[in-house]
Amino acid sequence: MRTIPQFIMKRVQGRVLAVVTFLLALTLSLGFMPSNLQRVYAQEENLYLDGKNGNDENDGTTQETAVKSFEKAKQMATENPYIEVIYVVDTVPVTGEVSLDNTNAILMRNPGFSGYLLSIPTGKEATLRNITIDGGGENDGKTTKSLIYLQGDLNIEDGTILENNKANDPTRKSTDIYGGAICSDFGGKEKVINMTGGIIRDNRAYFGGGICLSSNTTLNMSGGEISNNQAYSGMTYNGTSYVSGGGIAAYRSSTINLSGDALITENSSEEI
C-alpha cells in the first residue's frame, strides 16, 4: 500500500512532467510558425536617431541616448529584427546609399519634432532605395519642414516611400512652408533629383505638396509615382489663398523633365 508521502510525490512529479511537456510543445510550435507570427510574441522595439546631439556610442533606446548617424541606426536595426521604428529626433545629414533593406524598420518623425528628417549637403549625393520615411501625420500641428532638405543631389529608386508629412505654420503668421516630402535649397547652387522609382504620397505643404523645387533644381522623373499630395494653407494673402503646386511646385530657374513610366496623379491645390 502506497503511503501518503509517496502519493503526493507522484502527483507532484506528474504535474511537473505535464508543465515540461507543455513548454516543449509550445517551443516546437513557435519554431514552425511563420516569422511574422512569431513576432507577435516578442516585444516591439524602437530606436532613436539624433543627427545633432546623438552619439553612436549610445544604445539608442531613448531620446536622451539616441545614436547620431543613419549608418549606426541601420546597423542596429539590421542586427535586431524587432526594431520597427527609427524615430528621428533632429535632422540627420546623409550621403551615399540610404536604405533600410534587410531590416523591419521604417524612419519616422519623432512626435513633436518640427524640422527636416534628412538633409543632403552641398556637393554631395544620396540615393534612397528600399526605405520608408514617414512624417508622422498631423503631429499636433507642429511640423514645419519637409522630410528631406536638398542642397546636393538626390536619387530616388524602387522601394522608396516618402509619406504622411503634414507641414504647416502653427503660428498662422508665415506662408513659408515649402515641400511636403522634399524641399530644395533656395541658394544658387544647381541641384538634381533623379526619380526612377518609389512613391511620394499623402504629404502636405503650402508650396509643393509633394516636392518644392525652390531654386536652380532639376527634377528628372522617369519612373515612380507622386500622388495624393496637397498644397493647402487655409490662409489668405490680400484675400487670395497663398498656395501652389499640389504635386510639384517649381521656382527660380527650376526644371521638370518627365519621361518613361513617371506618374503624377490625384494631387490637389487649394482653390484660389
Question: Mean pLDDT, the chain, as a whole number?
Answer: 87
Q: Where are the strands (E) in 12-169, listed by range?
A: 45-50, 83-90, 92-93, 96-98, 106-109, 118-120, 125-128, 131-137, 148-150, 153-156, 160-165
CA dihedral over 220, 152, 185, 191, signed as positive or negative:
negative
Which pLDDT belongs to residue 42?
Answer: 45
The pLDDT-based confidence of 20 (bands split at 50, 70, 90) is: very low
Would you call 168 exposed, middle or buried from its count of C-beta atoms within 10 A (0-12, 13-18, 19+)?
buried
Q: Is the pLDDT of residue 9 over 50?
A: no
Q: Is the pLDDT of residue 210 over 50?
A: yes
Which pLDDT belongs to residue 272?
Answer: 54
- Taking the whole predicted model, whether its pTM rises above 0.85 is answered as no
Give the separation between CA 177 and CA 142, rounded to whole angstroms.
Answer: 12
Residue 192 · residue 230 · CB < 8 Å: no
pLDDT in tens, 25-72: 544 444 544 444 444 434 679 999 999 999 999 999 999 999 999 999
The pLDDT-based confidence of 224 (bands split at 50, 70, 90) is: very high
**Up-side HSE of residue 10: CA atoms within 13 Å toward CB?**
5
Give the separation between CA 114 and CA 193, rounded to whole angstroms.
Answer: 24
Give the separation between CA 133 and CA 120, rounded to whole angstroms.
Answer: 15
Give the whole-number percent of the chain exceeding pLDDT 70: 82
Set of cell numbers at residue 83 = 526594431
